[in-house]
Structure 1
Amino acid sequence: MAHGTVDQTDIQCPSCGGQCAFDPAQHDLLCSSCGSLWPLATDDDHEAATEFPYNPNAPMPEPPSLRGDQVHQCKTCGGEVIFIGAALSENCPYCDGPVVLATEGTAFATMALVPFRIDRAYAAGAITDWVNRRVAAPNDLTKVSAEGRIASIYAPFWTFDSKEAIEYWATYQVGSGKNRRRRGRKGRINIDFNDMLVPASPHVTPLIRDGILHDFKPSYLRPYQAGYLAGFAAERHHMTVQEGLDANEADKDVLIRNLIKGEIDKPNPRVERYRTDTTGIQYRRILLPVWILHYTYHGTAKKVVVSGIDGRTFGERPFSPWKLAGFSALITALTMAFGLVWGATGIL
């Protein structure tokens, strides 16, 4: 990837030479000058879902990214973001901080992406609906959030498959009261993990991750093309496969422990320890689309995130202390009234 250079050929209109941008509503490139639509679909689109094997004991060299995209670095959060063609931004899509041209660094080639399926207008409507449904929100929240900035970005993710042969040692409860005690159990289970989605950047916060993880389907993947990024920003992949696997360990540990507890199917199970033999690792290095609203309420920065796949919306919001006090008083009054009625009926 050459610093400061962009090959615009792939996103220029063949009819008039104008600038094109990807249109999520029509899934094609749309020329901003003459309005022509140009398809991005190819006969090889099905290959985008291909998974690649990985052997931790004999890792293969990973191809670096060689595309001529402009790289910008956020001064606030440090994220390196690429912008295709004229889709330049004065702010980072992640944190709304300023971005500047960055010094070229090591990055790895993106294998596939899920194009934006939700356009800006739909995302803005989803954000408005989400804000309007917040209970105990300040009266001016709708107005303040409407003045925020909506940004779009393709966020870097991994998908991982693996086969786990697990040997575990656990305990569970038997009896009750003074007779309560714990018994031990040793067992083995096999688990197949398929398409575990793992953020490939520290800038993909839990809020962003939760907003995008719910409706990923491998059939949505398309081969990386500059045309899909035209009009949007994207963060580059910097992690090796092993670093991605390491980042997945905490989530995988929670899933394994929960599956062991389900296998035990006894009261109050506790996984004391386990060991696993991991084989069959396969991976993809992909980009997933997300819309992010940045707004500030009384000096505090907040976000609302909309999945670019299905429009699912999550966010951060303030509360009105007066409304919270009113709800608390109402709940207290209802509880007292219920107690009086219960007592009056003589039911004990």
Structure 2
Amino acid sequence: MDQIAVDQSEIQCQSCGGQCAFDPAQQDLLCGSCSSLWPLATDGDDDAATEFPFHPDAPMAEPPSLRGDQIHQCKTCGGEVIFTGPAMSETCPYCNGPVVLGIEDKAYETMALVPFRIDRDYAARCITDWVHKRIAAPSDLTRFAAEGRIASIYAPFWTFDSREAIQYWAFYTYRSGKNSRTRNVSGTMNVHFDDLLVPASPHVTPLIRDGILHDFQPRQLRPYHAGYLAGFAAERHHMTVADGLNLNAKDKDLLIRNKIKQHVGRRNTKVDRYRTDTTGIYYRRILLPVWILHYTYRGTSKKVVVSGIDGRTYGERPFSPWKLAGYSALITALTMLLGLIWGATGIL
């Protein structure tokens, strides 16, 4: 079965022939005409978390499939998305730019996904709550946010496992009497990374990634099925596993350096350099669900991102200069008052 670009008969109601959409609340297909529910669960659901080995020196065993499927390409950010079922749109879920029809060249098969678990209404409430809790926000922010457009998309990710045999060289400073001294240290350690989550698209911004990172659990993965995408947009995987490992290198470097500092166990440790022998690489190619609010505040485009898994919300927001000035004045006044009280007690 071709993935994402599917025969629409796969998501038609078996009772009345109407078009179905995935219902996040019930985790089934819901017919828009007769309200019949069609289950998507299978006996193989537990296999969705299976990971696949990757050997950097071996020939690529998974070439991309030639497609020729119809896509919607954004004229603003270049994003390419597939709309399944009743999710057709004239705007890009990522940036809200206009989309035009195009023909896809090739893509990789999706291995698993985490279905949307919250619906549009719940996502809208998460956004409203997030906006109301913004300190020093302009008074009209709620109105501008309410006028925005909420879009949904399954964003492409990898997960990576690896084992690292690390040899490092580091140093730290410490006090010896009135002098500061530097001590060089070296050592070896083993680190196991499990399910590092890496965006598989340049259109998955840090804002979108951070809206998902803290939510993902492998046990929530389900085998790919077109029904989960019915009513939603999705982006295919267009990068190789090696590309994903390269994109993950910066984040992994930071994690390794932090683990080296923990291994040294001294404050002010700095890592000079390290070598690592990477083995046991396993990966998954998955889709994760995101709701995105696009709104414009006084001529500036902004986003609020909601995890489609549990509603965790992140966003871009403006500040009110008047409220910031008021908070600053209040903090200054409180600091001065505490200073006067402190002085009056004679403690100083």
Partner SS state of residue 259, structure 1: helix
For structure 2, the residue ranges without an aligned partner over 5 or more in a row are none
Structure 1 residues 232 and 22, CA gap change in structure 2 (3 angstroms): same
**What displacement does 1:178 show?**
4.0
Partner SS state of residue 208, structure 1: helix
Structure 1: distance between partners of 2:20 and 2:196: 34
- Partner of residue 345, structure 1: 345
- Partner of residue 215, structure 1: 215
Structure 2: distance between partners of 1:29 and 1:68: 27
- Give yes or no for the alignment of 1:17 onto 2:17: yes
The 8 Å contact of residues 85 and 232 in structure 2, kept in 1 or not, is answered as no
Structure 2: distance between partners of 1:232 and 1:209: 18
**Counterpart residue identity of residue 13, structure 2:** C
Structure 2: distance between partners of 1:185 and 1:204: 39
Runs of 4+ in 1 over 6 A off after TM superposition: none
The 8 Å contact of residues 68 and 103 in structure 2, kept in 1 or not, is answered as no
- Partner of residue 197, structure 1: 197
- Give yes or no for the alignment of 1:151 onto 2:151: yes
**What displacement does 1:67 show?**
7.4
Structure 1 residues 224 and 68, CA gap change in structure 2 (3 angstroms): farther
Structure 2: distance between partners of 1:146 and 1:284: 37
Q: Number of aligned pairs?
A: 347
Deviations 1:224-262 (A, max 9, x none): 111100000001101100000000000000000000000
- Partner of residue 305, structure 1: 305
- Two-structure CA RMSD over aligned residues (Å): 1.6
- Give yes or no for the alignment of 1:327 onto 2:327: yes
Structure 2: distance between partners of 1:86 and 1:103: 20
**Counterpart residue identity of residue 80, structure 1:** E
- Partner of residue 286, structure 1: 286
Deviations 1:184-210 (A, max 9, x none): 111000000000000011111111010
- Partner of residue 250, structure 1: 250
Trace 1:49-88 onto structure 2 (pairs within 5 A).
49-65=49-65, 70-88=70-88
Deviations 1:77-129 (A, max 9, x none): 00110111232111100000011112322211111100001111110000000
- Give yes or no for the alignment of 1:229 onto 2:206: no
**What displacement does 1:266 show?**
1.1
Deviations 1:152-205 (A, max 9, x none): 000000000000000000001222564211111110000000000000111111
**What displacement does 1:10 show?**
1.1
Partner SS state of residue 169, structure 1: strand
- Partner of residue 29, structure 1: 29
Structure 1 residues 262 and 18, CA gap change in structure 2 (3 angstroms): same
Structure 1 residues 223 and 63, CA gap change in structure 2 (3 angstroms): farther
Structure 2: distance between partners of 1:132 and 1:238: 38
For structure 1, the residue ranges without an aligned partner over 5 or more in a row are none
**Counterpart residue identity of residue 339, structure 2:** G
Structure 1: distance between partners of 2:33 and 2:310: 29
Calculate percent identity across the aligned residue pairs.
Answer: 76
- Partner of residue 174, structure 2: 174
Partner SS state of residue 180, structure 1: strand
The 8 Å contact of residues 112 and 221 in structure 1, kept in 2 or not, is answered as yes
The 8 Å contact of residues 69 and 83 in structure 1, kept in 2 or not, is answered as no
**Counterpart residue identity of residue 79, structure 2:** G
The TM-score, its normalising length taken from structure 2, stands at 0.97
Partner SS state of residue 331, structure 2: helix
Structure 1: distance between partners of 2:267 and 2:177: 14
Structure 2: distance between partners of 1:329 and 1:275: 51
**What displacement does 1:309 show?**
0.7
The 8 Å contact of residues 6 and 69 in structure 1, kept in 2 or not, is answered as no
Structure 2: distance between partners of 1:220 and 1:305: 20
